[in-house]
Amino acid sequence: MILGAGNVATHLSRHFFSRGHSIELVYSRTLEHAEQLAGEVGARSTDRREEVPPEADIFLVCLPDGEVAAHSEKLSGRKGIWVHTAGALPMNVFAPFHREFGVLYPLQTLTKERQISMQQVPMLVEGSSKTVTDTLKVLASDISDEVREVDSQTRLVIHLAAVFASNFSNHMVGIAEELLRKEGESYRLLLPLLHETIHKLEAMEPVRAQTGPAARGDEETILKHLELLREVPEWQKLYTFISRDIARFRKD
């Protein structure tokens, strides 16, 4: 059964369901969300914690990080393997309340509206015992070819790296979008550039792939850019800061 009906719950439920797993119940505090997801994966839905069954093979907890412990405590009698899906939450959050528990963290940016393949997405698993770990590995390999056992501390570092690589990159495009919108242009003009930026990283490391004014020490262009940013001091600061960091990498 699934606790949660957000982005991660939706993607994992869909994929497990399509691989033949049966999902008994979707619980969410927002009944409408629970109903919507449950409808997609042939499950019952509820917004009442009391209705969570006393036993299940897997309790898959896809709740916000801050709510996992509280729900786990309130449902401490329930028998089965308790699994959360968070990058930054240690496995032991379950330890006071359950006997068998683990983590299944999909290393991907998940948004409900998207349908994506999980086949190449790394699934980072961890279990409270070898049996649990093995169960989670088998489960994860039903939807992905890239299953890895990773402990809580390493998973946290990988999660941090993913925030830089994905969330922060996405925000850089967000800033680009704002700059272009003022000129009546769309960020979509940058899509071929963005695709090549990532494709390049298949072939070479980021430091070698780097181009642009900071990488070539082109101070004149940097000054022109800073002048353009004069009305947004935050972005001026950010620009200077990142450019300095790029130059530091270059010199190392």
Is the Cβ of residue 76 or residue 111 nearer to a copy of itself in the bound state?
111
Block residue for tokens 């033949």: 20
Amino acid at 174: G
Amino acid at 28: S
Is the Cβ of residue 22 or residue 111 nearer to a copy of itself in the bound state?
111
x/- site string to a copy of itself, residues 66 to 95, per CB under 8 A? x---------------------x-------
Q: Which of 12, 23, 121, 132 binds a copy of itself (CB under 8 A)?
A: 121
Minimum CB separation of residue 56 from a copy of itself in Å reads: 27
Binding status of residue 48 toward a copy of itself by CB under 8 A: no
**Touching a copy of itself, residues 130-149 (CB under 8 A):** 146
**Touching a copy of itself, residues 155-194 (CB under 8 A):** 156-177, 179-180, 182-183, 185, 187, 189-194
Amino acid at 135: T
Is the Cβ of residue 132 or residue 214 nearer to a copy of itself in the bound state?
214
Segment near a copy of itself (CB under 8 A); pick from 26-34, 36-44, 113-121, 127-135: 113-121
Q: Which of 116, 137, 149, 236 binds a copy of itself (CB under 8 A)?
A: 116
CB 83 within 8 A of CB 101: yes
Minimum CB separation of residue 90 from a copy of itself in Å reads: 10
Q: How far apart are CA 168 and CA 18, in angstroms?
A: 32
Minimum CB separation of residue 16 from a copy of itself in Å reads: 19
